[in-house]
């Protein structure tokens, strides 16, 4: 008997990942606001995810609609309709106006307003054209009265329509985004190395590449530094748990050099640094950049040996024209190099060079760049859920920094902090931001004391920061 195919949108492992807030790098649902909303809803079905994609938009999110949606989606608040005629169009969104076409459907089902005028109202609400909305309000009330609706009921339904003010999505748009997000989440869950390599290659995500590197480490993946015999051009999953950084990602290389490298490597691999130099013909400064990034380490020579070999090759073959003539002769490595004159760089120095040339360390965890921080003295991010309602002190690398204006017009700040166990969103409301805002830009690694404020469903939390400042450091000599 043939096995029945699994429902394509019902993989519990994928929904668990989304509902736990582990969707960073998943297009459309990776922003802090979307991750938080998915956790608050504990979303477990494709229709719910499609609605969430639209609920987050300004038009649909007015008047605490996000909070009401999260409650109704989970059965924590009863679903109500201002009029029975609205149930068919609002049933899938629990009585809330979420999609643009809901405006058209409400105007037709409740008031009998002409479709053309309803569409004018939709556009006026989206662009917040208050004069046009006021004019259409008169038409809406007149049409609803003609259908025999009571004045109080008309006002209630109009308030529902009027609350949908600002940019929003139609359901088809939300559906496309929701389906694409689920498919990407499926790929991330089952093929994490390939998925994260693609995200790093295309660089179109919500975050800077460093955040995706940190997410790789959280997933148990590590990065491999560039290597001229595996030059790319894309990030590539070499094994199930490792992603190779492409040579073309190194800052300081010209497009022409990268193109020649890819062409030459397609013909055959490079047997030595000298052969690479003669075939690819990079500028001397590019050779030094490649060496500092670790792209020649696969040849088995130390960094000092690489340095002296590069100097010898430049001296021997000279500029581009001489180098091309030199291709007629077999490249030779120098017989002896004065390695003792230079010392092998420390691990920290290598990580710093990689960060300078790639934007992140490729051969280690980004937090290794801060070895003096007393990380072990802080509450790790992955244990914050054990302290709901309590005040904790933690420390993290600032990986995202967003200033926002509260309804009072005062500035506040959202931060994303990372340690070795994960990332967490934090909030500095206006009074705290006035006192500690400078510390959030002064220290790349920040200590914060915050209250762990749980979501209503108990499946997540946010951090309300009380204090922020310089992190503790390890005692000297440790």
pLDDT tens digits along 432-461: 999 999 999 999 999 999 999 998 888 889
Domain ranges, ordered by start, for the chain = 12-162, 192-358, 375-469
List, in order, residues 6 or more apart from 21 with CB less than 8 Å away: 35, 36, 38, 39, 460
Query: Quick one: pLDDT at residue 163?
Result: 80
Cα–Cα distance, 253 to 336 (Å, whole number): 28
If pLDDT is split at 50, 70 and 90, which confidence band does 6 have?
A: low
The CATH number given to 375-469 is: 2.40.50.140
Whether pLDDT at 324 is above 90: no
Q: Are strands 242-244 and 236-239 parallel, antiparallel or unpaired?
A: antiparallel
pLDDT tens digits along 199-224: 999 987 889 999 999 999 999 999 99
- Asked if 208 and 50 count as a contact pair (C-beta separation under 8 A), the reply is no
The CATH number given to 192-358 is: 1.10.150
pLDDT tens digits along 19-44: 999 999 999 999 988 999 999 999 99
Tokens of residue 318, six digits:
């000279």
- Asked if 261 and 270 count as a contact pair (C-beta separation under 8 A), the reply is no
If pLDDT is split at 50, 70 and 90, which confidence band does 100 have?
A: confident
Query: Quick one: pLDDT at residue 269?
Result: 95
Q: How many other CB atoms are there within 10 angstroms of residue 431's CB atom? A: 11
Whether pLDDT at 127 is above 90: no
Query: Quick one: pLDDT at residue 265?
Result: 95
Dihedral Cα 229, 232, 237, 242, nearest 10 deg: 60
Fold agreement (192-358, 375-469): no
Helix/strand/coil for 118: helix
pTM: 0.88
Query: Quick one: pLDDT at residue 476?
Result: 76
pLDDT tens digits along 248-258: 999 999 999 99
Cα–Cα distance, 165 to 37 (Å, whole number): 20
Query: Quick one: pLDDT at residue 413?
Result: 93
Q: Are strands 445-454 and 461-469 parallel, antiparallel or unpaired?
A: antiparallel
Helix/strand/coil for 420: coil
Residues of the chain with pLDDT > 70, as a percent, come to 91
Taking residues 184-193, report their average pLDDT: 96
Mean pLDDT estimate for the chain: 89
């Amino acid at each position: 008997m043939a096995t029945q195919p699994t429902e394509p949108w019902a993989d519990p492992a994928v929904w668990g990942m989304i509902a736990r807030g582990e969707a960073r790098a998943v297009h459309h649902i990776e922003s802090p606001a979307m991750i938080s909303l998915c956790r608050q809803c504990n979303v477990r079905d494709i229709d719910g995810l499609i609605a969430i994609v639209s609920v987050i938009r300004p038009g649909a999110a007015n008047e605490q609609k996000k909070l009401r949606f999260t409650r109704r989606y989970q059965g924590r608040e009863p679903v109500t309709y201002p009029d029975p005629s609205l149930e068919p169009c609002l049933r899938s969104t629990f009585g809330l106006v979420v999609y643009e076409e809901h405006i058209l459907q409400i105007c037709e089902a409740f008031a009998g307003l002409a479709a053309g005028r309803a569409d004018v109202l939709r556009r006026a609400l989206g662009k917040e054209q208050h004069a046009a909305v006021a004019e259409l309000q008169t038409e809406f009330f007149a049409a609803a009265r003609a259908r025999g609706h009571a004045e109080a009921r008309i006002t209630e339904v109009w308030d529902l329509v009027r609350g949908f003010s600002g940019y929003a999505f139609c359901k088809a748009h939300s559906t496309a985004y929701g389906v694409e997000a689920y498919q990407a989440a499926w790929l991330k869950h089952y093929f994490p190395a390939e998925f994260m390599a693609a995200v790093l290659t295309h660089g179109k995500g919500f975050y800077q590449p460093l955040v995706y590197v940190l997410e790789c480490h959280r997933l148990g993946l590590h990065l491999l530094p560039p290597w001229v015999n595996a030059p790319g051009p894309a990030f590539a999953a070499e094994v199930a748990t490792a992603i190779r950084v492409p040579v073309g990602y190194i800052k300081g290389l010209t497009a022409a050099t990268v193109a020649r490298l890819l062409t030459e490597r397609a013909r055959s691999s490079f047997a030595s640094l000298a052969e690479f130099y003669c075939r690819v013909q990079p500028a001397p400064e590019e050779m030094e950049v490649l060496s500092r990034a670790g792209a020649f380490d696969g040849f088995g020579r130390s960094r000092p040996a690489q340095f002296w070999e590069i100097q010898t090759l430049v001296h021997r073959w000279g500029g581009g024209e001489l180098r091309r003539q030199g291709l007629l002769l077999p490249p030779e490595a120098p017989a002896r190099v004065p390695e003792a004159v230079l010392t092998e760089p420390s691990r920290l120095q290598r990580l710093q060079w990689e960060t300078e040339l790639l934007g992140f360390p490729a051969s280690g965890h980004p937090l290794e760049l801060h070895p003096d921080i007393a990380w072990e003295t802080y509450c790790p991010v992955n244990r914050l859920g054990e302290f709901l309602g309590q005040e904790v002190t933690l420390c993290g690398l600032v990986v995202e920094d967003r200033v926002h204006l509260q309804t009072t017009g005062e500035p506040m700040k959202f931060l994303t902090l990372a340690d070795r166990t994960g990332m967490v969103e934090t909030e500095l409301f206006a009074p705290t931001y006035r006192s500690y805002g400078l510390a959030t830009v002064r220290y790349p690694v920040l200590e914060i004391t915050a209250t762990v404020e749980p979501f209503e469903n108990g499946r997540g939390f946010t951090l309300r920061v009380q204090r922020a400042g310089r992190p503790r450091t390890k005692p000297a000599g440790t």
